[in-house]
Structure 1
Amino acid sequence: MTTETQTPLTAADVRRSWLREHSELGVCVLLLALGVLVLTDALTMDVDIAQRGPVGPRTVPVVVGIGLLVVAALLAVDVLRGGRGQAETGEDIDLSEPADWRTVALLTGVFLGAAVLIEPLGFPAAGALLFWGAAYALGSRRVDRDPLIAAVLSLLTYVLFNNLLGVPLPGGPLMGAL
């Protein structure tokens, strides 16, 4: 006869176990904080009183903020009732492979570089570097085609936002010469 002795669970063990089983609540907290941030920013925004219609510049951020709060609440209720997220079952994803942190780092660097360069170079040049860098980070090695596609895409985006939608983007020295 063997007697097994079990050590009693401490309060910290029970708490850790509960948090591990309800880890999706972290996403709820993140969504809640983001919703509060968006709503606070939208409601404290300086707005010109003379707007052209019933939909002002606060409308979309307020709707997005409220949506984030609703999703956070619904997700929290689901998690507390025992709901759990499903594991990834996509056919194009191999879960046995580790994360590709090189690609993540390259994309982060390209994005931050474009954010820093947008003021001195303007959107067309910084956007072209962003599109080209993202294509490179994601595996494209066509140096004969990618820079041209990135430049055209960036210029079209600039014209669409700046001229057609009325959203001013920094043109930089290249657009000043045109």
Structure 2
Amino acid sequence: MNDTTTNTGTGPGLRERLRGRSELGVCVLLFALGLLVLGDVLTMNTDFAQRGPVGPKTVPTVVGIALLVVAVLLAVDVLRGGRGQAEGGEDVDLDRSGDWRTVGLLVGVFLANAALIQPLGFPISGALLFWGSAYALGSRAYDRDPLIAAGLSVVTFFVFDTLLGTPLPGGPLMEVL
């Protein structure tokens, strides 16, 4: 008996049966996301006036149910032997592992932005986000990237805060202006 069978000798173990079915992880993620969306719908505050026949819970409910249905249908397809098509990009080496350094740098930049947006405000934290993302993705134009990042951040701040009416934290930079 080899190590891929169970001790009872009844056939392959759970690990062997799930080998090559990594799409089931996507199914679990979609199902959990659907449950999260539907849970949020149940706790949604709807004390404001409804305008029209469609209420504020309609779209999130449809999205949550659709996520659950897609998760179940995908799981059934995978368990019946269906497989996702391998990526066929011309410049992608499918035999190499992912670039975890870049992923780690991007995650760090996004977490830093989340931590710094309140104390520093969006214009400063957004500039750090844009510059850090450019650096993580390989740009090494040290003279140009900070200027572009600062410009993008300030323009984004004013578009959202002034034109769209979505308030973003201004931080100490906006107190000066």
With the shorter chain as reference, the TM-score category is 0.7 to 0.9
User: Structure 2 stretches of 5 or more lacking a match?
Assistant: none
8 Å contact kept, 1:43–1:62? no
8 Å contact kept, 1:31–1:68? yes
Amino acid at match of 2:37: V
Query: In the aligned structure 1, how far is the partner of 2:150 from the partner of 2:47?
Result: 36
Q: Evaluate the alpha carbon distance shift between residue 53 and residue 32 of structure 1 in structure 2; reply closer, same or farther with a 3 A threshold.
A: same
Query: In the aligned structure 2, how far is the partner of 1:120 from the partner of 1:99?
Result: 34
Once the two structures are superposed, the pairs formed by residues 127-146 of structure 1 within 5 Å of their partners are 127-146=126-145
Question: What's the TM-score once normalised by structure 1's chain length?
Answer: 0.84
What is residue 168 of structure 2 aligned with on the other side?
A: 169
SS in 1 for 2:19: helix
User: Structure 1 stretches of 5 or more lacking a match?
Assistant: 1-5
Q: Evaluate the alpha carbon distance shift between residue 51 and residue 156 of structure 1 in structure 2; reply closer, same or farther with a 3 A threshold.
A: farther
Query: In the aligned structure 2, how far is the partner of 1:66 from the partner of 1:30?
Result: 14
Q: How far apart are residue 40 of structure 1 and its match?
A: 0.8
Q: Evaluate the alpha carbon distance shift between residue 40 and residue 169 of structure 1 in structure 2; reply closer, same or farther with a 3 A threshold.
A: same
Question: What's the TM-score once normalised by structure 2's chain length?
Answer: 0.84
Query: In the aligned structure 2, how far is the partner of 1:114 from the partner of 1:174?
Result: 16
Summarize deviations over 1:11-70 as a string: whole Å, max 9, x none.
Answer: 573322211143322211111011111221133122342255556654553343233223
Summarize deviations over 1:64-108 as a string: whole Å, max 9, x none.
Answer: 323322321221122122210122221111123332111111111
SS in 2 for 1:13: coil
Once the two structures are superposed, the pairs formed by residues 51-70 of structure 1 within 5 Å of their partners are 51=50, 57-70=56-69
What is residue 24 of structure 1 aligned with on the other side?
A: 23
Amino acid at match of 2:43: T
Of the structure 1 ranges 85-94 and 134-143, higher mean CA displacement relative to structure 2 is found in 85-94
Q: Evaluate the alpha carbon distance shift between residue 170 and residue 91 of structure 1 in structure 2; reply closer, same or farther with a 3 A threshold.
A: same
User: Pairwise CA RMSD of aligned residues?
Assistant: 2.3
Summarize deviations over 1:87-135 as a string: whole Å, max 9, x none.
Answer: 2221111123332111111111111101000000011111110010000
Query: In the aligned structure 1, how far is the partner of 2:59 from the partner of 2:121?
Result: 27
8 Å contact kept, 1:42–1:61? yes
Of the structure 1 ranges 152-161 and 52-61, higher mean CA displacement relative to structure 2 is found in 52-61
Query: In the aligned structure 2, how far is the partner of 1:54 from the partner of 1:169?
Result: 32
